[in-house]
Chain A
Amino acid sequence: SQKIEQNSEALNIQEGKTATLTCNYTNYSPAYLQWYRQDPGRGPVFLLLIRENEKEKRKERLKVTFDTTLKQSLFHITASQPADSATYLCALVNNAGNMLTFGGGTRLMVKP
């Protein structure tokens, strides 16, 4: 069956360091992958989209990589700030293109 796995344990890092979050998937051939941020009690907010033919995408302090051979995406936040503390979700589009499937999310805590 299709699976998307994110580290369920919280990631604690010091302000100013780079946070790296991992998303692994199996039994999928996604056209593209997305990353969302979710704050407690709020809806997810879109951050970045990367297509299967793209290796890397950047947006300000954010960087996403997509390795379709390893079936893995890495999400980096450089120069992290306490305001970056949130849960980060990765999501894949299914082959029919009508469903976004989310991983369980990883909670990031950035300490001052």
Chain B
Amino acid sequence: ETGVTQSPTHLIKTRGQQVTLRCSSQSGHNTVSWYQQALGQGPQFIFQYYREEENGRGNFPPRFSGLQFPNYSSELNVNALELDDSALYLCASSLAGTSGRGLTGELFFGEGSRLTVL
């Protein structure tokens, strides 16, 4: 158990709809990263949030957006869903380095939210 919880665990949406996925970080962690994992592939970095600000973004379109709250929990929002958005969405929390930014160690992953777009 990593202490990172995600909700919902499974959901089904149709093309064009919008979805919000939620993540509670491990206690004491101030950084949250979101990953998309398609079946049979490794996780792909979407973005990272540190102290409520986006701190890096992967190669994902603007319809993927996020939020981090003062308690370090986070949301991932995806608008105008496409069939290719079907994947396991993983949230990972970590503790930023003494410089305030950057990964210094392991990521603690939640169990993911399985999104199916029909």
Contacts and interface: CB of A to CB of B under 8 A. Distances in A.
Name the interface size band of chain A: 20 to 34
Contacts of A102: 35, 42-44
Interface string A92-103: 010011111111
B42 A96 contact: no
Given A89-B43, A97-B97, A98-B56, A46 B48 contact: no
Contacts, number: 67
Name the interface size band of chain B: 20 to 34
Contacts of B40: 104
Contact of B55 (A49, A98, A100): A98
B106 interface: yes
Contact of A43 (B90, B101, B103, B105): B90
Interface of B: 2, 4, 33, 35, 40-45, 48, 50, 55-56, 58, 88, 90, 92, 97, 101-112, 114
